[in-house]
């Protein structure tokens, strides 16, 4: 039995608290929102973010962040990506040398173009940082529906240790050494999911969705390989797998926000209606920044940015994507 601290009591942090508690571990959940903690203590259910999911009564809840860090074998950092740096700063004084922190959020910091694990390492140099990602909507994980994810770590022993902490008969965990590829796939798929949602809002069909998923993973892979990620990662669970589920599911806040934008709402109106952090909005500029830095062509990402931040009508963005210069899909070996 391990001691697990969950930093962040949103839908994903709450779902993972149930996973590890059901696995027999001691779990403490922290939130900065006092009313959220009081609700969890009283109801053993997150009625706002994960309604209908009953949480094990032995989970401890606290607003004191040190109580979810000190003495813990593993800390799971589950705050939305825009708050990764500020939360890491809060955590740093209480993290012991070599303590494992597992980042489960998905994003790239706009100003620095750093991945979230890089941010954590910068703010908490004492920590050993790992990541957990994959096609895993909290609503389904909380209900115990079969789900498969990947844990990435620098050291094999850490990855296999975390595999044992999280894995059970409905939550299968693979291991990987490609932390960078895992994080890029998780962050950039949210931008493509916005595009897929916008297409849905415009009334496009399954053909369009398939095209955006396929060409979207091509964009992500091009960038990821240049940055040092592994091709297998982008064709796996945290690449194409996560992209499919985020583009296709109504659990996806990015897709839902995109639908509203495609129907004519502004980015701000869409985010307000979704009522949760739409991480693709925060990752879109970062994705565009990475594309420029590494001189990689990412036309879908570019058009999403133009729709979100430059007032380009969604219908015009779709037309401009369709009328781009003629291309080969793959490298060619024509017989001339």
pLDDT digits (tens, 9 = 90+) for 263-278: 999 888 888 888 777 8
Nearest by Cα to 318 from 258, 267, 271: 258
Distance between CA atoms of 180 and 200, rounded to whole angstroms? Answer: 30
Tell me, yes or no, whether 283 lies in a domain. yes
pLDDT above 80 for 331: no
Percent of the chain at pLDDT exceeding 70 = 100
Say if 336 falls within a structural domain.
no
Residue 196 and residue 112 share a domain: no
Task: Tell me which of 129, 154, 177 is where a domain ends.
Answer: 177
The encoded tokens of residue 288 equal 């565009």
User: What's the pLDDT score for residue 279?
Assistant: 83
Q: Are residues 123 and 231 in the same domain?
A: no
pLDDT at 42: 94
Q: How far apart, in whole angstroms, are the C-alpha atoms of residue 10 and residue 15?
A: 8
pLDDT over 80 (residue 5):
yes
Q: Name the band, by pLDDT with cuts 50, 70 and 90, for residue 333.
A: confident
Q: What's 84's domain CATH number?
A: 3.40.50.720
| Mean pLDDT value of segment 92-108 | 97
**Both 15 and 95 in a single domain?**
yes
Q: Are residues 158 and 206 in the same domain?
A: no
The domain total for the chain is 2
Residue 332 lies in a domain: no
Q: Check residue 3 and give its pLDDT.
A: 98
- Name 237's Cβ contacts closer than 8 Å, sequence gap at least 6: 133, 134, 135, 148, 149, 150, 174
Contact 155, 179 (CB under 8 A): no
Q: Is residue 122 part of a domain?
A: yes
242 shares a domain with 162: no
Whether residues 118 and 214 share a domain: the answer is no
Q: How many CB atoms lie within 10 A of CB 295?
A: 7
Read off the pTM.
Answer: 0.94
User: How does residue 329 score in pLDDT terms, banded at 50, 70 and 90?
Assistant: confident
Q: Look at residue 105 and tell me if it is in a domain.
A: yes
List residues bridging with 4 in a β-sheet: 27, 74
Residue 214 reports pLDDT greater than 80? yes
> In this prediction, what percent of the chain has a pLDDT beyond 90?
88
From residue 60, give the alpha-carbon distance in Å to each of 4, 92, 312: 10, 21, 48
61 shares a domain with 185? no
| Residues counted in the chain | 336
- Please indicate, yes or no, whether residues 31 and 143 belong to a single structural domain of this protein: yes
In this structure, what is the dihedral angle of CA atoms 76, 79, 80, 86, given to the nearest 10 degrees?
-110
Q: Which residues pair with 102 in a beta bridge?
A: 76, 130
What pLDDT sits at residue 334?
Answer: 79
Give pLDDT tens digits for 221-263.
999 999 999 999 999 999 999 999 999 988 888 999 999 999 9
| Residues 240 and 135 placed together within one structural domain of the fold | no
CA-closest candidate to residue 117, choices 54, 178, 203:
178
CATH of residue 188's domain is 1.10.1040.10
Contact indicator for 139, 251 with CB cutoff of 8 Å: yes
Q: Any idea what DSSP says for residue 334?
A: -
Give burial (CB, 10 Å; 0-12/13-18/19+) of 147. buried
Task: Determine, yes or no, domain membership for 224.
Answer: yes
201 lies in some domain: yes
pLDDT in tens, 22-50: 999 999 999 999 999 999 999 999 998 99
Residue with tokens 């149930």: 18
Model pLDDT, residue 72: 98
Active-site annotation holds for 189: yes
Q: Which domain holds residue 165?
A: 3-177
Which pLDDT does position 271 carry in this prediction?
86
Neighbours of 103 (CB within 10 A): 32
* Tokens found for residue 325: 């210069």
151 lies in the same domain as 206: no
- Please give the pLDDT value at position 81: 92
Is 169 in a helix, a strand, or coil?
Answer: coil
User: What is the C-alpha separation between 115 and 138, in angstroms, rounded?
Assistant: 22
Q: Are residues 256 and 212 in the same domain?
A: yes
User: Which pLDDT score, from 0 to 100, does residue 274 have?
Assistant: 85
Question: How far from chain centre, in Å, is Cα 234?
Answer: 14
pLDDT of residue 328: 87
Q: Which one of 177, 198, 218 terminates a domain?
A: 177
Res 197 pLDDT > 90: yes
- Digit-coded pLDDT (tens) for 132-156: 999 999 999 999 999 999 999 999 9
Contact of 308 with 284, CB cutoff 8 Å: yes
State both tokens at 258. Answer: 């995109």
In 10 A of CB 321, how many CB atoms?
A: 18
Note the pLDDT of residue 267: 86
Exposed, middle or buried: residue 62 (CB in 10 Å: 0-12, 13-18, 19+)?
Answer: middle
Question: Which domain-ending residue is among 148, 177, 206?
Answer: 177
**Model pLDDT, residue 276:** 77
Please check whether residue 327 is in contact with residue 239, taking contact to mean a CB–CB distance below 8 angstroms. no
* Torsion sign over Cα 234, 316, 281, 256: negative
- Classified as helix, coil or strand, 86 is helix
Same domain as 187, residue 171 = no
- Candidates 18, 49, 189, 285; catalytic one: 189
């Amino acid at each position: 039995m391990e001691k697990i601290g969950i930093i962040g009591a949103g839908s994903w942090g709450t779902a993972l608290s149930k996973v590890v508690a059901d696995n027999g571990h001691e779990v403490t959940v922290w939130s900065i929102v006092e009313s959220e903690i009081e609700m969890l203590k009283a109801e053993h259910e997150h009625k706002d973010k994960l309604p209908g999911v009953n949480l094990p009564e032995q989970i401890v809840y606290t607003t004191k962040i040190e109580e979810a860090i000190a003495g813990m074998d593993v800390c799971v950092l589950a705050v939305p990506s825009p708050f990764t740096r500020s939360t890491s700063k809060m955590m740093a004084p209480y993290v012991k040398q070599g303590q494992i922190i597992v980042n489960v959020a998905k994003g790239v910091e706009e100003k620095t173009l750093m991945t979230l694990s890089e941010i954590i390492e910068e703010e908490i140099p004492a920590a050993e940082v790992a990541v957990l990602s994959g096609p895993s909507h909290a609503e389904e994980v909380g209900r115990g529906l079969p789900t498969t994810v990947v844990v990435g770590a620098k050291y094999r022993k850490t990855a296999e240790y975390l595999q044992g902490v999280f894995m059970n008969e409905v939550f299968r965990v693979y291991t990987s050494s490609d932390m960078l590829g895992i994080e890029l796939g998780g962050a950039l798929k949210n931008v493509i999911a916005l595009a897929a949602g916008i297409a849905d809002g415009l009334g496009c069909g399954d053909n369009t969705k398939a095209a955006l998923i396929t060409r979207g993973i091509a964009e992500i892979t091009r960038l990821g390989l240049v940055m040092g990620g592994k091709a297998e990662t982008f064709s796996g669970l945290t690449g194409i797998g996560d992209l499919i589920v985020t583009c296709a599911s109504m659990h996806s806040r990015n897709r839902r926000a995109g639908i509203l934008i495609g129907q004519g709402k502004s980015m701000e109106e869409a985010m307000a209606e979704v009522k949760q952090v739409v991480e693709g909005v925060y990752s879109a500029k970062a994705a565009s920044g990475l594309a420029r830095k590494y001189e990689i062509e990412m036309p879908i990402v570019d058009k999403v940015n133009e729709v979100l931040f430059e007032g380009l009508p969604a219908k015009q963005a779709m037309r401009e994507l369709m009328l781009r210069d003629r291309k080969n899909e793959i490298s060619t070996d024509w017989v001339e």
